[in-house]
Amino acid sequence: MSFLLPGTASRALASATASASSSRSFSTSIVTLKKSNRARGAARKSPRNQALFAALSSRISPRQGGIASPAAAAGAKSGKKASNNLEPAEGETLLTLEQACEQLQAHGAASRPLNAFEVHIVTSVSSHQTNALRGRIAYPRDPRTKQERLLIFAEEGSEAAEAVKEIIQNEAASSSSSSSQSEPAIIVGGSELISQVLNNRVTGFTKVLCTNTLLSEVSKGLARSLGPKGLMPNPRRGTVVPSDDRRSIVDAIRESKGAMDWRSDKVGVIRGAVGRLNFDKEDVKKNVTTLLDAIVQKVPTLGSQQAAQGAGQAKEYIARDKRSPGELKKAANIIKQVHLSSTQGPGIKLDLRDVLA
């Protein structure tokens, strides 16, 4: 015969109850797991998920990166060889860039001439490299409707500051006859601008340049303010210039006002405006060609020192000869699809044999 101290019986009863509850809970978890496994199996067998699984399982080799098209995935599953993405799929109609521009302009150029031509470029870059797929580009005709507003940190009396003041005077003289701007396109000053930016007395700027002698002060005072906005000056991006070099600041201003940044998303798709509906088709074509050439040149250098050194340099339009069949095939291995649309218009898939030629 055993005796329990006061309170021990209640603790033993509570322990036994918890043990039984845990056992029932464990049994319930096993039943739930079996049911969820059966549900997953049924979901896998659905036609939609089988097609999705086939598309995802048809990834091309890691050396090339990317995901094959659904047509290629279906061909791989049936044992058929996937066709070249330069050729349209069966029953698919592809338009040239000129034809696409005509359709989109007919759709909305009369009522909304400033709506943008937007391009969507699908690349073959694998997901672990997409963060490095970015660059700067100087379009032959700027597709932006608003002018960049520059904030420049330069010491009073330095060569850089004097060069900036000359540019401001020249722009003021050229624009006085046409229209007066409510806000200056360029704001220049020394370290006193740091407190003005922090106190929101200087706002509305879209790009920031800085001389090398003021970079440490600007970094210390404005890193938390400019950094999250992507405006912090960086030597690698060409936004930090020598204070004693007039030519460098002039080039940096020209590039900042004319160059645009482009970058890939997580799945290797690049989007951006390449014109306005009131642009000539030739202007749109030059802008699209400039962007595509920049991407084709950038992809083979991803992860190399060459890519890091040229990260802040803007690529400009360079007239070139048509690509040879071999060069066209290499470009098509990088650029998988190109779609052109307008702000409120449909998306049109372009013929790669036309836009990459």
As a whole number, mean pLDDT of residues 112-139 equals 90
Q: What is the pTM of this model?
A: 0.61
* Res. 215: pLDDT tops 60: yes
Confidence of residue 74 (pLDDT cuts 50, 70, 90): very low
Outline which parts of the chain fall under CATH 3.40.50.790.
150-259
Confidence of residue 47 (pLDDT cuts 50, 70, 90): low
Confidence of residue 87 (pLDDT cuts 50, 70, 90): confident
In this structure, of 74-78, 110-114, 118-122, the range with the lowest mean pLDDT score is 74-78
* Res. 299: pLDDT tops 80: yes
Provide the pLDDT for residue 55: 46
Outline which parts of the chain fall under CATH 3.30.190.20.
97-133+264-355
Domain formed by 97-133+264-355, architecture: 2-Layer Sandwich (3.30)
End-to-end CA distance of the chain: 97
Are 346 and 319 in contact by the 8 Å Cβ rule? The answer is no
CATH of 150-259, one of 3.40.50.2300, 3.30.70.1400, 3.40.50.790, 2.60.40.10: 3.40.50.790
Are 334 and 124 in contact by the 8 Å Cβ rule? The answer is yes
Confidence of residue 21 (pLDDT cuts 50, 70, 90): low
The enclosing H or E element of 274 equals: strand 269-276
For the chain, how many helices (H) and strands (E)? 12, 11
Other Cβ atoms less than 10 A from the Cβ of 296: the count is 19
Angle at the Cα of 356 from the Cα atoms of 353 and 357, rounded to 5 degrees: 70
